[in-house]
Amino acid sequence: MSPVEIACDESGSEGENLLGGETDVFAHAGVRLSPEHARACVREIRDRIGSPAEEYKANHLLREKNRAVLEWLLDPAGPLAGRGHVHLTDKTFFAVRAAVTLLADDGTDAMARTLHRAGPAAFGAARWAFFLAAFTSVLRLKPRRGVTTSPEEFFALVGDLAATPGEAGEILGLFRGGAERVAAYRARLASEPGLVPVLDPLVPAVIHTVRHWSADGTPVALVHDEQLALTAERVLQLKATLGHRLADVRFVDSRSDARVQIADFLAGVARRIASDDLNGRGDSRLTGLLESFVDADSVWDGLSR
C-alpha cells in the first residue's frame, strides 16, 4: 500500500521547558492536502487577507480584522474539513501526567487529571508551582536557571506535600516510592544522548499524528517543517515505535511547501485558541470550530471540559 503524505508543523515548541516559558500550550498539526490544493488554499488566504507580507503566518489569521478568514479556514465546509488534525498539549498538565506516570505505581490519566485540578487549591498555587518546577528540574541533568532541585530535596518535598489531607495529598503519597525510577531515568539520560526526554511533548504528538492518519491501515510519510529536536536518532525511535505505520520522515523549509504552510497556520491558530480557552478568555465560536480538528487523546483538560 502506497503511503499517504501528511504535512506537519508545530507551534509553541520549547523542548523540556514546560513551565514559565513563552507559551503554555504546544500544538502539532498535520494536514492531508495535495500540493495543488494547498497552493490554492494559500492563494485564497492571501487574496482574502490582502496583506503585502511576503510570508504569511498564523498571526495574520488571528488579527481581528481577518476573523472571517480564520472562520472560513476552520469551518466544517471549509478547505480543511476532514483534511486537518491537531494534537494539543497543555504543558502544565503534561508535566503533571509525567509525574504521575513516572512516580506512582499504576498511575493513570484519571489520577493525573485529579491531581492537575486539585493541586493548586490543595497545596496553594505558589507551593504547587514550586513542586512542578522541582519535578521538571530533577528530570533534567542540566536544569535551566531558576529552580534547581536534587532528587533528595525533591522527595523531601513530596513527603511534606503528601501530608496534606485530601485526594491530592494521597496521590503525592504514591510518589514516595519513585526515587529509584528517577535515578534510573537520570542514568539513561546520561548514557543515551538520543533518548527522548519524558518532558518533551514533540515526539508523543508526532506519534499521535501518525496514528490518526494511519488509522485505516494506510502508512504515513511525514513532510515536516525543519525541526532540530527530531534528530536522526529520534526519527529511528519513531519508526521503531510506529512500525509499518510510519513509512518516511522528510524535512523541508515551510516556505518551499504550501502544505507545510497550511499546517503552520493550523498549528499556530490552534495554539492561540486553545491557550485562550485554557486561561478563561476563550472565544466560544472559535473554540467550537477548532474542536473538530483536535485529537481525542490530546494532553488536555480544556475545550470539551
Q: State pLDDT tens for residues 185-209.
A: 999 988 987 788 999 999 999 999 9
> Is residue 250 scored above 70 in pLDDT?
yes
* Grid cell locating 254: 515551510
Q: What is the mean pLDDT of residues 204-229?
A: 96
For cell 475545550, the residue is 303
* Grid cell locating 122: 490543595
Q: What is the pLDDT of residue 304?
A: 42
Between 274 and 1, the higher pLDDT residue: 274
pLDDT band, very low/low/confident/very high, at 52 (cuts 50, 70, 90) = confident
Q: What is the pLDDT of residue 146?
A: 58
Long-range CB contacts for residues 272-275, cutoff 8 Å, separation at least 24:
272/58, 272/62, 274/25, 274/27, 274/88, 274/90, 274/300, 274/302, 274/303, 275/23, 275/24, 275/25
Nearest to 85 by CA among 37, 29, 32, 11: 29
Of 82-91, 178-187, 188-197, least confident by mean pLDDT is 188-197
> Beta strands 220-225 and 4-11: pairing type?
parallel
> Is residue 106 scored above 50 in pLDDT?
yes
> Measured between alpha carbons, how far is 226 from 205 in angstroms, rounded to an integer?
16
> Is residue 46 scored above 80 in pLDDT?
yes
**Domain range summary for the chain, segments of one domain joined by +:** 4-89+198-291, 91-191
Q: Burial level of 152, CB count in 10 A (0-12/13-18/19+)?
A: exposed
Q: What is the pTM of this model?
A: 0.93
Does domain 4-89+198-291 sit in CATH 3.30.420.10? Answer: yes
Q: What is the 3-state secondary structure (H, E, C) of 69-127?
A: HHHHHHCCCCCCCCCEEEEEEEHHHHHHHHHHHHHCCCCCHHHHHHHHHHHHHHHCHHH
> Is residue 151 scored above 50 in pLDDT?
yes
